[in-house]
Structures are given as C-alpha cells and as structure tokens.
Structure 1
C-alpha cells in the first residue's frame, strides 16, 4: 500500500581507504529504509560520489562533487581510517572540505574513525600523520565514535539512523501539536517521548522476541512509590507464572521501572519490564525465547498488558491518548497459529520480522479492536493470508480465558 514519506539525503564521505565501509554504510541505510521507513514516514537516500556524480570540465573536481551531491543533502556520515585524503586547493582533503561545508551550513555530521588493524607496509606515513593531526585538532570541540570492525560501524550507523529518525518524528509531532492546540494548555512531551519509546521498543537487541506495549497519557504520574511498585510486581509475577507456573520471579526496582525475571534454564530468561515515565508514557515489555511465537500467548499478553496500562493506579485519572504495540526480534520459525486459527499456515517458516502498529485512541478505546489490528498487521507481515475471516469473528477475551484455563489444567 502506498504511503507518504519525507526524504532525507545522506552523503557518505571518506577517503579511498574505506571502500568496503562506504558500501556497508550505504547498505545500512537501505536496510533501515526496508525495515522502518513506513513506520517513521521517512526515507534516507544514500548519496556517494561514485554513484551519484557525473564528469564535468572547467571546474574544480571537489567543487563539482559539492555541487552535485553535497549542497542539497541533509545529513553526512563521514569516516576516516589511515588517510586524510588529497588536498583540494581549498582544504586539507575532499572529505575535510565536505565536513566543513556541512558544519558551516549547520547540517548534522556523524563522524567515525576506524581503529581496525592495518599493514604498515601499505600505509603512507605522511597521510597517517596528517590524519592524526586533524583528529587531534577537532578533539576538543567534536564528538565522534571509533569502530574496530565492519560489524561495529554497521551497528553504530543503524543506531544513528534510529536516533535521527526519532528526533525528526519528535519535531514533526511537536509542530503538529502546536498547530492543533495553539490556544490550549498541553504537555506535548508525553506524545513526543511516545515515539522515542516505541522506536526503542522496536529495536530490542536481545535473543528471543520482545512484545512491547506503549501508552501515552495527557500527563505524568505524581508519584511512583514502593506500594505502587509492589502492585506492578504482583501483577507481572502473576502473568509470568501463568506461562511458567513452576518458576518464581525475581524483582528489580528503579526510579521509574519494575523488572520481573523468571528463573528458568533458558539462556535468556523470560522477563516483564514495566516502565512509567513522568512525562506521561508507560511501556510494558515481555521477552522470551521460543521456537515459535504462540499466537494465543501474543493475544493474551496484549490483553493483560493493555488492561494494565489503562487501569493501573499509577495513572489513575489520566486520559489515554495514544497506544502502540510492537513485536520485534522474533524467532525465525514463525508464529504458531494452530490454537487460534486452525486453517493458518503454521508449518511455514519465516525470517524474523518487526511489526509495529500505532493509533490515536480516545476514552472509549475498544481494546479488542486495537489488538486485532495489531495481530492482523503482524500476521500479514509474516506472510499469513488465510486468517481474515477467523480474526473478524474472533472474541479475543475468550482466547485469554481459554489460555489461562489451559494452563491451570
């Protein structure tokens, strides 16, 4: 289905000794687009001189590159390893000139230095010395990352793209709130931070799968005391023991969160984490390892978690404004739909997916409708197509009841 998205052009800048890393950064940008552009309504367009410039005469070579890809770009990812690069007639090197032009235009530059090993016999000592002098000259007024491998630069770039997308989304939503509520007292931070939490939830990096429910309120809580944390702990323990009835959870408190971990033999133990941010955002995350994700688990945990963020005494009296659900880092085998939809393709294996659904809600939010939309989008993302009629007629609360009864038998 077609969707609208803003396009941000990213210049990938470096001297010629990082050819492989340049390609990796470009592929990271394209991967991010595939996974997240629809959610953020944002597309990153990688720009490189190798692929996005054409030859010109009677013009300084670096100026030609600047004119063709630099001047209209929005973001720069710059890298160095053993070379600073060749002088351009205007600056120490092409990459340095590009960085300085971005800085003078007040555009963001993400700067990385490679610390991977190199063979001394292949290094130009003068270039290495010039690079170290440049790095030293910017050390006091620049923040940059150092990477030691191609996997590290990939991780750093994906993190940067996620953070940048969240900041862009915050700014857009903040401007929208100002337009809509120009003369109305409001607290936009809660809805701004909602997207940051949802983005964070959708990029969990542990093994197994994460199911996350994020809720945004008009305002934050006034207190989060020991009694309220005990309430959360008792609730999370009950839910965990409904799945792992013979195991006792261990609890961990913080200023704004409660974490309950179930003691099992798994490498990564099942855990519930409940976080209440004082700007008005609640997040509940469930993590576990299973060969398949049972769909009845998914529905049950959504139901009880949404009930928690709606009815918890911590947010008593607060109006729920926005609700989001994500399923991320899922097992590769797929979703087991046998119990809920007997006709679905439960024997087909799929690669991991990341399903995100969000919606503005009001005080009369229909929880069943919210979760059905999330389940529908998730199954479609995983390639299931024969469940629509069954889902439309399904009473989700019956799934919860049947599942809990099954566990108690």
Structure 2
C-alpha cells in the first residue's frame, strides 16, 4: 500500500516581546514544538515560530522597525506577545516595537495571544517609567481584547500550550465544517449520452 503525503496547514507565529523575557521566548518555542508533535501532527497543522533574532537580517534603507515589518513581521499569521516590566524602544508611530507589531497585526485582524508577567521582581531592578508604560498598555488593551497573566514560568507554559490548543482545535473544526458544507451543497452531476 502506498502512503500518500499529508497535507498540512502552516502558520507563522511572531514572537514579540522585550529582551528581558528570554525565559518566556524559550518557553514559547518549547510549547510550539510540543504542539507540532501532538495536536499539530494529528490535525495537520504546523506552527513556525519567528523572532527578530532568528528571522531578520542586516538591511539598510529604513528605520529598524519598518525593515523588520517588511522582512517578516507583517507576513506572520498570528503573534504571541509578552510584557513584564519593560515596554521597549519607541518607534516612529508607537511607544515600542513590540506595541507596533501587536497593533499592526491586530489592524490586519490577526490573532494575538498577549500575556503580562506578574513574576516578582526586586524593586531595585524596576524602572518605574517603563513599568508604567506596560501598565498603561495593559489597561488600553483590556478595553478591546482578552489577555492573560501569569506569576510563574510554569504557569505561563501551561496556559500558552492550552491557549494554542484551544485556538487551533477551533480553527481545525471550522476548516472541516467548511469542507463538509461544500460537499453537502454540491450539485455536481454527470450526464452522458450513449448512441445519440
């Protein structure tokens, strides 16, 4: 018996966050790998994580965020964003590159999984101005979308995997129902004439 190759849907996932959450970046990649091995393999879905550290290249002729957007950011299908205590470097149009990436993808009606870390930090390490910007963005975002918080890295890992699973199981069901409804309403018929 010859096995036919599987058809898979591929989704590029933007990882957008400040450099202070490097542990979370590793967790995101781990969750995506786990999803691809389990649910993704079963449902024919492949998630490709994309981050500026691995998917950008030196380029001239524009502002850094504009170049990143052109290279890969705006081509991503969805995003996972994480904030902790730093908001990031301002761009021409937004308070930070992370905010710009999130806002631009939202304008394109793309899914954004947004998380705010409540992991404890020493007061001496906290930049109050930066943290106030994070909290202001959190308040603004809450008015138009759902975000999640976590206080431990293990909690973040559990939540992220669950959220990815719930989202893509829903997407998978929608895809199947679209195929089913097309088959149900098909009016294909074959008419033949034999000997005039």
TM-score, scaled to structure 2: 0.89
Matched residue SS, 2:72: helix
Q: Residue 122 of structure 1: CA displacement?
A: 1.6
Provide the C-alpha distance between the structure 1 equivalents of 2:145 and 2:174, rounded to a whole number of angstroms. Answer: 24
Asked if 1:178 corresponds to 2:178, the answer is: no
Does residue 86 of structure 2 align to residue 83 of structure 1?
Answer: yes
Name the counterpart of 1:200: none
Structure 1 residue 62 corresponds to structure 2 residue 62: no
Q: CA deviation at 1:183?
A: 5.6
Could you tell me which runs of 5 or more consecutive residues in structure 2 were left unpaired when the two chains were aligned.
188-196
Task: Work out which of the residue numbers 158, 161, 168 in structure 1 matches 2:164.
Answer: 161
Q: Superposed, which structure 2 residues align to 1:86-235 within 5 Å?
A: 86-182=89-185
Deviations 1:320-367, CA, capped at 9 Å, x for gaps: xxxxxxxxxxxxxxxxxxxxxxxxxxxxxxxxxxxxxxxxxxxxxxxx
Matched, 1:41 2:38: no
Offset at residue 108 of structure 1 (A):
0.7
Whether 2:94 is the aligned partner of 1:72: answer no
Does 88-97 or 134-143 show the bigger shift? 134-143
| 1:292-331 map, 5 Å | none
**Relative contact order higher in (CA < 8 Å, ≥ 6 apart):** 2
Take 2:26 and 2:72, find their aligned partners in 1: how far apart are those partners?
17
Specify which structure has the higher proportion of helix: 2
Alpha-carbon RMSD across the aligned residues, in angstroms, is: 1.5
Task: Look up the match of 2:193.
Answer: none
Which has a greater percent of strand? Answer: 1
Residue 36 of structure 1 and its aligned partner are, at CA, apart by 2.4
For this pair of structures, how many residues does the alignment match? 184
The residue that corresponds to 1:269 in the other structure is none
Instruction: Give the whole-Å Cα distance in 2 for the aligned partners of 1:28 and 1:51.
Output: 18
Alignment partner of 1:57: what SS? coil
Aligned to 1:385: none
Deviation, structure 1 residue 3: 2.3
Contact 1:3 1:38 in 2 (8 A): no
1:51 partnered with 2:54: yes
* Partners of 1:38 and 1:30 in 2: CA distance: 10
Cα offset, 1:10, TM superposition: 0.5
Give the secondary-structure state (helix, strand or coil) at the position aligned to 2:62: coil
Q: Rg larger in 1 or in 2? A: 1
| TM-score, normalization by structure 1 | 0.44
Aligned equivalents of 2:167 and 2:140: distance in 1? Answer: 26
Matched, 1:16 2:4: no
Residue-by-residue CA offset, 1:116-146 (whole Å, 9 max, x unaligned): 0011212221101111122122222221110
- Cα deviations by residue, 1:351-403 (Å, 9 ceiling, x for unpaired): xxxxxxxxxxxxxxxxxxxxxxxxxxxxxxxxxxxxxxxxxxxxxxxxxxxxx
Q: Secondary structure at the match of 2:132?
A: helix
Q: Deviations over 1:285-341 (max 9, x none)?
A: xxxxxxxxxxxxxxxxxxxxxxxxxxxxxxxxxxxxxxxxxxxxxxxxxxxxxxxxx
